[in-house]
Amino acid sequence: MCQRKEGLSKCGRCKQAFYCNVECQKEDWPMHKLECSPMVVFGENWNPSETVRLTARILAKQQMHPERTTSEKLLAVKEFESHLDKLDNEKKDLIQSDIAALHHFYSKHLEFPDSDSLVVLFAQVNCNGFTVEDEELSHLGSAIFPDVALMNHSCCPNVIVTYKGTLAEVRAVQEISPGEEVSVWPAAAGAVGFRLRFYRAVWKIPCGSAGQDGLGVSPAAALFPASGLAG
């Protein structure tokens, strides 16, 4: 992932994907080809959500490399927690909408597992996805980092996650004692009230703290390799 904003190269076909150089563009082609043709065909009607795009890349990655990837040393995507049994009907309906969008935009380029497996995968992505930001904390997109997903979420975390290229770097923000659980703050919503509801609904955190300001969520749709996984 290149965070440079000037002097970027553009995909000559879809005109919507930008790269720092030709090498970067070639490296991303196995993933971008999922979307390049649909972007051209759908034009202004190309509007899958970030979650749908992320899930499509996960499926493509799994089909191209069914073996465990280097970013799954400790935890594989299929081992992610889904909290599916805790989702209410509204959340389940949203997942069904995402599945419909996945079929609509990617059916000519992907093979899909059965419906039940897709429901589980979308629930796993919703629970374990990370918001990727640049150095100015501007929203860039979403990604999954399987080994980083081992950390639980907390309103008072002891580490933060920063991004360098395609890697997620975990940094302590306070002293961590031996045996102490490592926890991360899910920067997912702006307004405190919404963020707390988001925590409870998506990450199942019984959060009662309103002391930390949230970071805004942008509708930008970008997807980056999570230490080698998901694009």
pLDDT for 227: 37
Q: Which two structure tokens, joined as six digits, stand for 31? A: 């993933």
- Dihedral Cα 205, 209, 214, 219, nearest 10 deg: 30
Q: Which two structure tokens, joined as six digits, stand for 229? A: 């996984």
For 150, residues 6+ apart whose C-beta sits below 8 A from its C-beta are 74, 75
Residues of the chain with CATH 2.170.270.10: 48-206+214-225
pLDDT tens track for 41-94: 999 999 999 999 999 999 998 888 888 877 777 788 888 989 999 999 999 999
Domain spanning 48-206+214-225, CATH architecture: Beta Complex (2.170)
Distance of alpha carbon 188 from alpha carbon 196, whole angstroms: 10
One-letter amino acid of 204 = K
pLDDT tens track for 28-38: 898 899 999 99
pTM: 0.75
Distance of alpha carbon 208 from alpha carbon 226, whole angstroms: 30
For 230, residues 6+ apart whose C-beta sits below 8 A from its C-beta are 54, 57, 58, 61, 143, 144, 223, 224
pLDDT along the chain (231 residues), means of 10: 70 90 88 93 94 94 83 83 91 96 95 96 90 77 85 85 82 92 64 43 48 28 35 36
